Amino acid sequence: MPGSLYEAVRRGDEAEVRSLLEAGADANELGPEQRTPLIEAASQGNVPLLRLLLQHGAEPGWKDAMDETALLKAATYGHRDAYGVLWPLAREEERGLAKAFLSASGLTWDVAPPPPPPDPRQPEKDQRFGRAVATAAARVSKFFGDEVHAERLERQERAEELDPKKRR
């Protein structure tokens, strides 16, 4: 019986990961805390595994039980190279959160990943509206006792307090 892709990624065993993927393993297999192999690889900063998983259909937008994506994990743990691989695949609101996580941890990188080209389908006004809706949803979740969303909102607000440019 083949092993778990998630566990192979957790161990950093690139040969086993490659073998499992080539044998048809699900690149989005769920591990503990709803973590996918991609989220685990990002948490470790393992760029070769990130690239391999992405080539085999890993979903970069998947969120774990903490409602965080692979990009957010790379930012949280300060893995700049992993962050750079995942940055172009992220939505705008996710990029904003990732930048806030970096600021909150006191990380400063000489060159940030290049900003994505503007999406002509989503004007800047719509992006601000989307962030406002996400913030309101997190506050409502906090009111009803959803600590995961409340924790994310509090981290975001702390990061914005540290960086006056990010204040709304």
Exposed / middle / buried, residue 92 (Cβ in 10 Å: 0-12, 13-18, 19+): middle
Q: How many domains does the chain have?
A: 1
Q: What is the pLDDT of residue 168?
A: 46
Q: What is the pLDDT of residue 95?
A: 86
Q: For residues 69 and 40, is the Cβ–Cβ distance under 8 A?
A: no
Average pLDDT score over residue span 105-129: 54
> Which range has the top average pLDDT, 2-11, 140-149, 157-166?
2-11
Q: What is the pLDDT of residue 110?
A: 41
Place of tokens 């994990």: 73
Query: What is the reported pTM?
Result: 0.64
- Looking at residue 49, which CATH number applies to its domain? 1.25.40.20
Cα separation, 156 vs 101, whole angstroms: 7
- Domain containing 67 equals 5-166
Condensed to tens digits (0 to 9), the pLDDT of residues 145-157 reads: 666 666 666 666 6
